Amino acid sequence: MKIGISSTGQDIESDIDMRFGRCLYFLIIEVDNKEIKSVKAIDNTAASQAGGAGTAAAQIVAEQGAEAVISVNFGPRAFDVFNQLDIKVYTAQGKIKDAVQDFIEGKLEEISTPTGSMHMGLGKDTKK
């Protein structure tokens, strides 16, 4: 299973970025038999878009084959994309490696509604 996570950096020691659509990176983490098999960092090219960042970011993660996503906040547009593609959505904060372990152990709760408002990331410093 592949998991997409909004990230402040390019490895699993990084923190989960609070913003999904405007995070700097996504980590695509492949988990098999309750073990991390691979970690791939990709730039979030949607972060600098004037509008539609959530939708574009969700499509980037979906194109990587993610079956689940983890972030702190998901706006309604990104959430709708994941819902339409049957990609499960989870929230977590802190270190990515800890969130992945919690996911593997079934400790993360799947969410059923967006957690952020539209345009939440606009005007924020994307160099965090």
Q: Domain count of the chain?
A: 1
SS3 11: coil
Q: What is the pLDDT of residue 12?
A: 96
List the CATH number of the domain containing 35. Answer: 3.30.420.130
Q: In sequence order, what DSSP letters do the residues of 23-83 get, joined into one string? A: -SEEEEEEEETTEEEEEEEEE-TTTT-SS-HHHHHHHHHHHTT-SEEEESB--HHHHHHHH
Residue 84 lies inside a defined structural domain of this protein = yes
Residue 118's pLDDT is: 53
CA distances from 38 to 56, 61, 75, 95 (A): 24, 15, 28, 17
Asked if residue 114 belongs to a domain, the reply is no
49 within some domain: yes
The whole-model pTM stands at: 0.89
**113 inside domain:** no
Would residue 116 count as lying in a domain?
no
Domain that residue 82 falls in: 2-104
Token duo for residue 38: 């691979």
The answer for residues whose C-beta is within 8 angstroms of residue 78's C-beta and 6 or more apart is: 20, 21, 54, 55, 57, 58, 114
In a domain, 86, yes or no: yes
pLDDT at 119: 52
**Residue at 126 is within a domain:** no
Residues with pLDDT less than 70, the chain: 116-128
- Residue appearing with tokens 């972060």: 47
Element (H, E) at 98: helix 96-104
- Per-residue pLDDT at 51: 86
122 found inside a domain: no
* Structure confidence at residue 115 (pLDDT): 82
- Percent of the chain residues past pLDDT 70, beyond the cut: 90
